Amino acid sequence: MIVSTTNEIQGRKIKSVIGIVQGNTIRAKWFGKDILSGLRQIIGGELKEYTEMMHEAREQAYNRMVEDAKKQGADAIICMRFGTSSVMQSAAEVMAYGTAIKLE
């Protein structure tokens, strides 16, 4: 599956637009790791537990978006974007979305 953040796939012609595809996940860290991150906030530095959580969430949302596109018979996804929002304290939703297309 070709995935691009641009409006086209260079060197390829769009045959048809299938529509919007998406994938999402909501993630929270285990309470113990949340405490470690809280301590790190006091002394400073990267909140590695949250960096890892968000990386995993983006990867899962991306994979779910690609699966949605495959189910709809797409060859590629253009205009791909990520969105994120806080659902509750220590939990975030990550969404991957784009436009599924068929290529000539």
For the stretch 22-35, pLDDT in tens is: 999 998 865 455 55
Third-level CATH fold of 2-103: Translation Initiation Factor IF3 (3.30.110)
Structure-token pair, residue 15? 């045959």
Annotated domain spans of the chain: 2-103
Up-side HSE of residue 86: CA atoms within 13 Å toward CB?
4
Cα dihedral value 73, 76, 80, 83, nearest 10 = 30
d(CA 35, CA 64): 30
Task: Write out pLDDT tens, residues 55-74.
Answer: 999 999 999 999 999 999 99
pLDDT of 16 over the 70 cut: yes
Q: How confident is the model at residue 46 (pLDDT cuts 50, 70, 90)?
A: confident
- Give helix then strand counts, H and E, for the chain: 2, 4
pLDDT of residue 29: 65
d(CA 63, CA 15): 24
d(CA 21, CA 34): 32
